[in-house]
Chain A
Amino acid sequence: MMGDIVNAVVWVLLIAGGFFMVTGSVGMVRLPDVFTRMHAAGMVDTMGAGLTLAGLCVYSLHDGTGLVAVRLVLVLAFLWFTSPIATHAVAKAALSGGTTPYTVRGAQAGAGKDARGGGAPDAARQAPADGERGVGDPS
């Protein structure tokens, strides 16, 4: 009985974590430029990883000595300390590489397109730097 409840909680947490990971990945494709995509990537390593690890924590607390749970919390702590620094480095690199952040007004002035994903990235970059192609860019 107790095992069933724990299993249900674990499943809910793992599925919720998976949901945020998939949503973040969808965002990586749908959002218009590198800066907005960073926000989607942030979802993957905050809630996606967080809920998944929480699920594993609950599982190991029920099924083991709890030692694994402590280690998983450490994994999450290190992840949450380091991932904003990586995100910041990407943002800084994009800015100093001369990427113009996508804005609604810029997109409208550029090609008359709206803030839809897909076609919008080209409107966001009036003068794309050479090295900037390929940063999560599907086109």
Chain B
Amino acid sequence: MNRAPWLWAILFALWLVLSWHFTPLFLFFGVVTCSIAVLVVTRMGILDRESLPLHLAWRAATYVPWLVWEIFKSNVRVARIILSPRIRVDPSIVHFRASQRTDLGRFIYANSITLTPGTVTTGIVGDDFEVHAIVQEEIDGSEENIMNRRVAQLEGEAE
């Protein structure tokens, strides 16, 4: 799939939403800016599955709402820890193996872990994740496994 037209279309849509001026001058500026951006990106040769993961778009539509709900739940958990009269934390750094096959999948998983309060990814070597958890049980439970599986699903069949 040729990604350059897709990138151009996405950039131009972003331009339109952010400017919302439809005078010829502004449209011309938009066309020129987006074209230069796409030209630079293609010349650098960094336009690939990783930088523009279009194949994830429709599966992300179910992943993102689920992630938002997870973020909400763990926010409430951390808020309860912070607001309790005596702070009971049991932080530790945990290592475990992630089941994603591509770097992009690992990146999404690591960022999802960090986005949910209570767990922060502090390092990745290969498929070994190093995660700091504010309460150790947080990471031992099935929650992380569910997220791990869902990101692997999101990633789909690797090439």
Contacts and interface: CB of A to CB of B under 8 A. Distances in A.
Interface of A: 19-20, 23-24, 26-27, 30-33, 35-36, 38-40, 42-43, 46-47, 50, 67, 70-71, 74, 80-81, 83-85, 87-88, 91-92, 95, 101-104, 115-117
20 contacts: A20-B79, A23-B82, A23-B83, A30-B87, A36-B89, A36-B134, A39-B78, A40-B82, A46-B116, A50-B68, A84-B121, A88-B122, A91-B120, A95-B123, A102-B91, A103-B90, A103-B92, A104-B91, A115-B88, A115-B89
Interface residues of B, number: 35
A83 B117 CA distance: 12
Contact of B78 (A32, A43, A74, A88): A43
Contact of B75 (A46, A70, A115): A46
Contact of B120 (A39, A70, A102): A39
A39 B118 CA distance: 5
Contacts of B115: 42, 46, 80, 83-84
Contact of B83 (A26, A67, A101, A115): A26
B112 to A, nearest CB: 8
A76 to B, nearest CB: 10
Interface of A is mostly: helix
Nearest to B76: A47
Contacts of A38: 120, 132
B82 A26 contact: yes
A92 B123 contact: yes
Contacts of B81: 27
B17 A70 contact: yes
Interface string B6-44: 000000001001101000000000000000000000000
A84 B87 contact: no
Contacts of B118: 39, 42
A71 B93 contact: no
B123 A31 contact: no
B82 A67 contact: no
A104 B89 CA distance: 8
B86 A42 contact: no
Contacts of A84: 110-111, 114-115, 121
Given A39-B118, A40-B78, A40-B82, A32 B89 contact: yes
A88 B122 CA distance: 6
Interface in B104-142: 110-111, 114-123, 132, 134
B96 interface: no
B121 A88 contact: yes
A47 B68 CA distance: 9
